[in-house]
Amino acid sequence: MPTFDSIQVTGNATVNQALNVLGNETISQNLNVMGSETVAQNLQVNGSESVAGTLNVTGMATGGSVSATYQLSAASQPTLPSGTLTLQQVRYYNPGAVNQPGLVLTGTDGVRYVIFVDVSSGTPSLAIQRA
């Protein structure tokens, strides 16, 4: 396998197998990976990125939107915080705010829904609305 100290791609990059980056990766345009992608440190994409296989993020993925065709999951198991439990109901807003930020999931009816946290009552509640 060839080894490079640096590589610069001024247009689009397409990788037909796996892309492994042991350091940092910055993409200014588009990156299409047909296999899997693993980045050990930082990944910054200023254009767009599509991964047909698996994208492994050890740290945190942030941006305008992060989407997954099937599942978007966190690998770490959550822990219960200390304190007392307050029972709350899930709030449903129909139709809700246009372009509401939140986690978008498809329901069993095929309709897309946005899940977000509503603190309008002073107590955080899980809220759902049609996307």
Contact 55, 68 (CB under 8 A): no
pLDDT of 40 higher than 80? no
Q: Which of the four pLDDT bands, split at 50, 70 and 90, describes residue 129?
A: very high
Provide the total of helices (H) and of strands (E) in the chain, helices listed first.
0, 12
Whether residue 31 lies inside any domain: the answer is yes
Q: List, for residues 77-95, the tens digit of each pLDDT value.
A: 667 778 887 777 899 998 8
Whether residue 6 lies inside any domain: the answer is no
Whether residue 86 lies inside any domain: the answer is no
pLDDT at residue 96, as a whole number: 75
Residue that the structure tokens 């892309």 belong to = 19
Q: Which of the four pLDDT bands, split at 50, 70 and 90, describes residue 64?
A: low
pLDDT at residue 47, as a whole number: 75
Whether residue 5 lies inside any domain: the answer is no
Contact 114, 131 (CB under 8 A): yes
Based on the structure, what is the number of domains in the chain?
A: 2
Domain that holds residue 118: 91-130
Q: State the average pLDDT over residues 31-47.
A: 77
Mean pLDDT, the chain, as a whole number? Answer: 78
Q: Which of 86, 82, 84 is nearest to 121 (CA)?
A: 86
Whether residue 3 lies inside any domain: the answer is no
DSSP letters of 11-55?
S-EEESS-EEESS-EEESSEEEESS-EEESS-EEESSEEEESS-E
Whether residue 64 lies inside any domain: the answer is no
pTM value is: 0.55
